[in-house]
Amino acid sequence: MKILIVHQNYPGQYREILSWLIAQGGHEIVFLTQRQGIAPRDGIKIVSYPTHHRPSDGAYALSKYWEECCGNGYGAAVAMQAIKAEGFTPDIILGHIGWGELTFVRQVWPACPVIGYFEYFFLNEGGSVGFDPEYPSSKDTPYIMHARNAMNFANLETVDRRVTPTK
């Protein structure tokens, strides 16, 4: 089976399944990541990609995360187009949706099954809100957290199956 795995921080949450797939044998695996200089590993072709765009420090708070994720997603899509041009067409794609990397996968491979890993849903209270004293919450926090979930909502329609580690 030809498998594309997408995670900005190789191997991320795919460490165990990656080891299992390699041990199983018979798979052609491409791992797309932003990490650079990763030591080669038997059974995996690692492709690094740069983000296409990063928002400025002063970007509008309600759309800053979306802007960053779209830059990652477009950067990943450009890399996917190059992978496709080299002749690789996956039978299945596994990827983390949190950084936007799967957002434009359908523009490259519209019919390929995609399993998206939905790790985090941003809450108005709890979770990351109020956790780090360096980033105190404000009256705008509930709106910013809700806006950050736009990436989750957009990718609900991008993927065929959704996996989450929590209820």
Domain regions of the chain by residue span: 2-163
**CATH class of residue range 2-163:** alpha beta
DSSP 40: P
Write down the pTM of the prediction: 0.93
**166 has a pLDDT exceeding 80:** no
What does the pLDDT read at residue 20?
96
What does the pLDDT read at residue 154?
95
Question: CA 109 to CA 107: how far, in whole Å?
Answer: 6
Strand (E) or helix (H) holding 152:
helix 150-156
What is the per-residue DSSP string for 4-39?
EEE-SSTTGGGHHHHHHHHHH---EEEEEES--SPP
Question: CA 51 to CA 43: how far, in whole Å?
Answer: 25
13 Cβ partners below 8 Å, 6+ apart? 7, 96, 117, 119
User: How confident is the model over 14-48, as pLDDT tens digits?
Assistant: 999 999 999 999 999 999 999 999 988 888 999 99
